[in-house]
Structure 1
Amino acid sequence: MIIERSSEWKEGFTERLENRETWDNWALYNMSYETVKTNLITDFYGLQSPKYLPNLTPLSHQLAVAETVIERMNGKAILADEVGLGKTIEAGLILKEYLIRGLVKKALILVPASLVNQWIEELNQKFHIPAMQYKKNYDLNHCTIVVMSIDMAKRSPHKENIYDQAYDLIIIDEAHKLKNHKTKNYEFVQNLKKKFCLLLTATPIQNDVFELFHLISLLKPGHLGNYETFQSSFSASKHDVEHDDYLKELVNQVMVRNRRQDTGIEWTNRHVQIIPIDFTTKEKEVYDLISQLKNVSPIFSDAFSMITLQREMCSSKEATCLTLDKMRLKCIRPGDISYIEEITRKLMGLEINSKAEKAYEIISQANDKVILFTEYRASQLYLQWFLNSKGVTSVLFNGQFNKNKREWMKQLFKEQAQVLIATESGSEGINLQFCHHVINYDLPWNPMKLEQRIGRVHRLGQEHDVHIYNLAIQNTIEDHILDLLHVKIGVFEKVVGELDDILSAYKKSI
C-alpha cells in the first residue's frame, strides 16, 4: 500500500477564505460546544472519576482518601491504610481524577518487580488507564503512564532517561523500602522531577521514628524541619519521642491512614497469641555452646554473626550449620576449627526440633490451610521435609521464584497442599484470603513485617476469623526480640496511631 499526503484541504481552505463561505456546519459546532461544556469541571471539590469507572465500585473510605489527598494535601501524601484496605485503588482513583482534570499527563509508577503486572492489570481493567510496562528500548518521551520496578529505574541508563522527564505524578508502592536515606533508592526518588507524589505503605515506621522523618522529607522537604531541628524539637531517639501529639498532628497533614475498624466494613476477628517453647536439654546445650563462641577467640567476636547464629539455632540446625561452615572456613587456628567442628557434630546429632514439633501440633489442630513464615531458606527446606514425614503436604514460596512459579505455588497451595512455607518475600504482593491460619515460625526484628505477613490473609474478602501463632523459644535471643518488638510497636502507636494486634491480644506497655 502506498500512502501519500493529501493536499486537497488547501483548495477547500482557499475557497472558503476568498469567497467568505461558512467554515463548517453550525449545528455540528453547537453540538460539539455543548459536549465540551457538559464535560467541564466547574467545581474542584468532589470526585469526577467514579462516574467514568463502570468496572469499579470504590468503598467509602477509598473515596474519602482520594478527596482528602486532592483537596487538602495538594497531591502529596503518604497513603498508609492498614494492609488489605486497598491503597492501590486509592492511588488509582487519584491518578484517574488528575487525568480527567487535565492536571496529570505524565505519570511514573515505581513498584517492586513482583507487582508490576498486578499494577498494570488493575490500572487497565479497573480504571481504563493505559498504563504500560517499561522496556529497555522504550523512549520515555512518548510514554505517558509508565510502570516499572524501582530496581530497574535506579540503574543506568534508565535513571538518566527518567531524570530527563518532568513527571506530573510519581506513585511509589511499598514506600517503606525508602526508609534509609543513605540508599540509592532514596537518592534516586529524591532527585525525580515531580509535581504530585504518592507514597504507599501500611508501615511508615518499621524500626524507629527517624524512618518516618526521612519518608516525609522525601515527600515534602522541610515539613518536619531538618534532621537536627526534628531531633531537638521532639527529643527524638530511635524508640521514643516527646510532644507526640504535636508530631502526630504534623504527620496527619501529609498522611492518610484508615484502620479496619474505621471503614464501616464488618471484619472477621483476629486471634493472636505468643506460643512459648522450651528447648530440649540437648538443644539448649548446643545453643549455649554457640553463645559462648565469642569468648573462645577474637575471630568469633562479631556481634552480628553471633546473633545470627543464635536466631538460626532457634529455627533449625540446617540453617545453623550453613553459617557455622562459613565461619569454619575463615578460621586459621586449629583450636578454633576444632571448636566449630565440635559444635557442628553435636548440632547434627540433635534428633528433635522443638519448634518444628510445636508447628506440626498447631497445623494438626488447625486441620485447615496454614501459611508458615520462616526467615531462612534452609529452614524452609527442612520444614517441608519434616512436615512431609508427618504426612502433611506443603509447598514453598520464596524470593528466588519467578512470577510464574510464584503463581503456580499459590495455586497448588489453594487446591492441593495444606501448608505454604514462605520466606519474607511471601509477605509481599500475594493475597491468600482462602487461608485462615498464620504461623510466625521465626520472629523478625521488625514488627511491621508481622503486620505485612498477617495482612496476606486478614484483608478484604476474608470470610473467617484469622488465627496467628507467634512461636518463641524461651531463655534465648527470641526473648530479646519479643521485648524489642513491643517497644517498636509502642513507637508506631505514639506517632502514627493504633495498630491491630500482631504479637498477642494483650499489649505490653513500654
Structure 2
Amino acid sequence: MLDPTRRQAYTDALNELDQPTVLPLDVVGRLETLSPQAIRLDWVRLGVIANADGHFDRAGILAALEATAKASLLVYEPQLWDRLEVPPLNWEDVNGLTVTDSLPTVPYLLAEQAADWGTVRGFEHLLAPSQSQVTPHPYQLEAVTRVLREMKGCAILADEVGLGKTIEAGLILKEYILRGMVRTALILVPASLVDQWKDELSDRFGIPTTVLDRPNLSATADVAIVSIHRAKRSLADELLSRHWDLIIVDEAHMLKDQNTVGYKFVYALKRTFSLLLTATPVQNDLRELYNLITLAKPGLLRSRKHFRTYYMSDRRKAKNVDLLKELLAEVMIRNRRSTSLVELPPRVVHTVEVELNAEELAFHQAVVKFVHRVYQRYVKGNIAIGYDSTEVEKIVLTLIILLKESCSSNRAVLSTLAGGMRRRIMELAEKTGKTGDLTELDRVILHGQTLGLHSKTKALGKLLKAHPRSTIVYSEFRQTLEAIRDYLTSQGHRVTIFHGGLSGSQRRQALNTFREHGGIFLSSEAGGQGLNLQFCHQLVNYDIPWNPTRLEQRIGRVHRYGQTQTVQIFNFSMRDTIEEYILWVLSSKINMFQQVIGELETILSFMDTSGRVSFEYRLSKIILDAQDFGLIREKMRELGNALRGASESYQLAKTQTETWLEPLT
C-alpha cells in the first residue's frame, strides 16, 4: 500500500506532465529517492498495466492513485497472510485455502515480499478458484490463465453457448480483486440479465455489487452492474466521468456496429482491463470482428483501412489468414462444446396440464380483471393520485406479483390481496374519496377464501405418486411452497423446504438432508441460486417464471456436468390462464426445453439488440395493457413470432460465426 506522502508525490509529478503515456524514467527526476524499477512496481501494484512499449497510461495511474486514497488493502483471512509472509512461498498451500462464511472481511496488511510475489510472478497459480463456490472445468481455468498472463486482462471470451463464459469472467474479476489489481468494475449486460449477474457474483464469487437502477449511484459503487441501454442513455455522463479498473460486457455482439450509441459509449469508457463476452462475435461482416477486437484491445488490428487492406478479400472472406489468426490469439478465446465438455444424459420434458374447476377459474379471472381495473384507472388513467413515479412503480410491481401468484396458489395470491394490495387501495381511496375499488377487492378476497385445495396441488400429489423418486419442486413464492409442504406432509412425504428466508446454516442443513435422505425438495428462486443439484434426476416447475432465464437456471442446476441419469422435467400449466400462454410461447416457438443451457440468453439478446427491455417487461406490458383474454392471446402470438425470429437470427449468426472463425481460432 502506498503511503500518503509517496502517493501525493506521484500525483504531483504526473500532473506536471502533459503526455498521455509515461515511462518510470519520466518521473525519476521528481522522485529522486526511487529507482525506475521501484516506480514500475508501484504502478503495477496499483493495477496499471504497461503497453507493449513499456509505457503506462498517465490518466490510469492518476485514477488508481485517487482510488488507493480511499481503499487499497487486499482482503484475505488472517491465516493466508501468515503463509504469504513465510519464504519460500508455498503456492500449493495458498491455492488450497478457502474462506468460510463466518470469517469477517477485515483488511490485513500485506507484507512487501508477498506483494512482490503476487504481482511480479504473474499468474502461475490462481487464487480465485479456491476462494469461490465454483468447480471450474480445465478449459475454463486455461482460459482464465491466458486472459491474465498472455492477454493482460483485455480479451474476448467467445466460447460457444453453454460453456460458462460467465464463470470465466467471474474468476478473472475475483483474481484481480484478490491481488489488489481491480477495485472498481463496471458490468454492462442486457436488461434481462442484470439480476442474474448480481446473483452469480454474490453466490458463486462472494463479490458484492451495486445495481445502477437510478442516477448518482456509480460514484460510490465498487462493482456496478447496469443494463447497457440505461448506461448509454441516462447514466452515460456519470459512467464516463470516472476510471474503471475493469469493464465486462455480456452479449457483446450487440456492439458489433461502430456507428451505434452503444459502441461509442463503451469505446469512450476509461478503463484498464476489458472483457467482452459473446458466442457470436462475427455474424454478417468481418468488420464486426474488427469492431469488437478494437473495443477489447484498441490498436491490435491498427486502423480500419489497414484491416480492410491486409485482412479482407471482401466483407465475408479473410486473407492473410495465418497472420490474422496469430493476432486473434492475442485477444480471443473460443472453446467449442465438441472438444470441451462430456456429453450430458438426455432430458425428457413433460407438460402437465391442470384443469381448474369452475370456482378456481372464476377466481383467477376475477384477480386478473381487478388488476386490469387498478392499472387502467391509476397507472394509465387520468385519476390524480398525487404519487411520484416511485410510488406508481410500487403499484405496478404489486399488480405484476398478483398476476404471477394467480397462477401459483390461492394462498399466495390471497396473502398479497389482503396485505400489500389492500394497503395501496386504501391509500388510493383516501386520496380520491372513492371506495369502489376497496369494495371490489374485498369481494375478490372473500371469493378466494371459499376455495379448497388447489387443483394444481392435487395434480402434484398424483404426479409424485406415479413417479415415486426424489424430486425438486420449484415455485417463485414462499406461500406456495408452504401450502405444498402442508399438503405433501399430510400425505406422508418427506419434505424439505428451501427459500431465501433461511439462514446460511439452515440452507446447508436443508440441502444436506435432501442429499442424504431424498424426498421432496421445495425451493424458491431466491433460495436456489448457485445450487448444484445434479444428484437429483426429477424436477417440477410448479409455476412458470415470466423471466425465462430463471426457468433455464432451474433446469441447469440439475441437468449439468456430473449428472449421470436421464433428467425428467415436468412443467405445470393451468389451462385458460396466463401461464398456459407463456409456456406455449417458450415451448412451441423456440423449443426452449431442448436447447443447450445458456442459449436462451443469447436468443433474447437478438430479440432486443438495444439491451433496452427484458422479455419479462414485454410480457408484463402485454398482460397489463390488454383489455381481455382474447387480446392477451393475440399479443402473445405476436411475442412468440418475435421470439422465433430472434431464434432464427441467432441460429444464422451461430452458423456464420463458426464458418468464419473455424480457420482463425
- TM above 0.5, one fold? yes
1:340 paired residue among 418, 441, 447: 441
Does residue 367 of the first structure (1) align with residue 477 of the second (2)? Answer: no
Which residue, out of 139, 143, 149, partners 2:208? 149
Report whether the alignment pairs 1:66 with 2:158. no
Change (3 A) 1:480 1:78: farther
Which deviations, in whole Å up to 9, do the C-alpha atoms of 1:41-75 show, x marking residues without a partner? xxx9xx9558x999999745325533664656952
CA offsets 1:283-329 (integer angstroms, 9 cap, x no match): 11212222333676788665845554333121111111122224344
Contact kept, 8 Å, 2:160 with 2:335, in 1: the verdict is yes
* SS in structure 2 of the partner of residue 391 of structure 1: coil
TM-score with structure 2 setting the length: 0.47
Which residue of 201, 221, 225 corresponds with 2:260?
A: 225
Match of 2:410 among 317, 342, 347: 317
Q: Distance in 1 between matches of 2:531 and 2:151?
A: 32
Q: Report the Cα distance in structure 2 between the residues aligned to 1:431 and 1:295, rounded to whole angstroms.
A: 39
Please name the residue that 1:277 is paired with: 354
Q: Is the 8 A contact 1:275 1:471 kept in 2?
A: yes
1:428 is aligned to 2:487: no
CA offsets 1:380-433 (integer angstroms, 9 cap, x no match): 221111221222222222222332222222122222352222221134222122
Alignment partner of 1:451 is 2:537: no
- Counterparts of 1:161-200 in structure 2, within 5 Å, are 178=227, 181=230, 193-198=243-248
1:190 and 1:315, CA in 2 relative to 1: closer, same or farther beyond 3 A? farther
Higher mean alpha-carbon deviation, 442-451 vs 478-487, is at: 478-487
Contact 2:218 2:239 in 1 (8 A): no
CA contact (8 A) 1:438 1:467 kept: yes
Q: Partners in 2 of 1:186 and 1:273 — Cα distance?
A: 46
SS of residue in 1 equivalent to 2:526: helix
In 2, the alpha carbon distance for the partners of 1:115 and 1:491 equals 17
Counterpart CA distance in 1 for 2:135 and 2:524 is 34
Aligned residues with identical type, % of pairs: 22
2:275: which partner in 1? none
- Aligned equivalents of 2:439, 2:550: Cα separation in 1: 38
Return closer, same or farther for 1:484/1:301 CA change in 2, 3 Å cut-off.
farther
Offset of residue 252 of structure 1: 7.6
CA distance in 2 between counterparts of 1:284 and 1:362 reads 22
Secondary structure class of the residue paired with 1:400: coil
| 2:483 is the counterpart of 1:382 | yes
Distance of 1:436 and 1:245 partners within structure 2 = 41
Gaps of 5+ in 2: 1-87, 89-116, 186-196, 266-281, 297-331, 381-395, 593-599, 608-640, 646-665
Which structure carries more relative contact order (alpha carbon 8 Å, separation 6+)? 1
The counterpart of 1:289, out of the listed 358, 363, 366, is 366
Structure-1 separation of matches of 2:135 and 2:410: 50
Q: Which residue of 2 aligns with 1:405?
A: 506
- Aligned partners of 1:378 and 1:81: how far apart in 2? 39
Q: How many residues matched?
A: 388
Maintained 8 Å contact 1:80/1:257:
yes
Asked if the contact 2:170/2:201 (under 8 Å) is kept, the reply is no
Query: Any gaps of 5 or more consecutive residues in structure 1?
Result: 1-31, 33-38, 120-146, 164-169, 206-210, 231-242, 498-506
Bigger CA drift: 183-192 or 70-79?
183-192
RMSD between aligned alpha carbons? 5.2
CA 1:271–1:229 in 2, change beyond 3 Å: closer, same or farther? farther
Secondary structure of 1:439's aligned partner: strand
* One-letter code aligned to 1:362: L
Amino acid paired to 2:181: K
Contact 1:295/1:301 (CA < 8 Å) preserved in 2? no
AA aligned to 2:154 is G
CA distance in 1, matches of 2:378, 2:221: 45
For residues 347-401 of structure 1, give each alpha carbon's deviation from its aligned partner in whole angstroms, at most 9, with x where no partner exists. Answer: 1221231222222333333322222221222212211112212222222222223
Relative to 1, partners in 2 of residues 1:73 and 1:352: Cα closer, same or farther, differing over 3 Å?
A: farther
Q: 1:361 to 1:445 in 2, by over 3 A?
A: same
Secondary structure, counterpart of 1:275 in structure 2: strand
- CA–CA distance in structure 1, aligned partners of residues 534 and 457 of structure 2: 25
Give the Cα–Cα distance (whole angstroms) in 2 for the partners of residues 494 and 263 of structure 1. 25
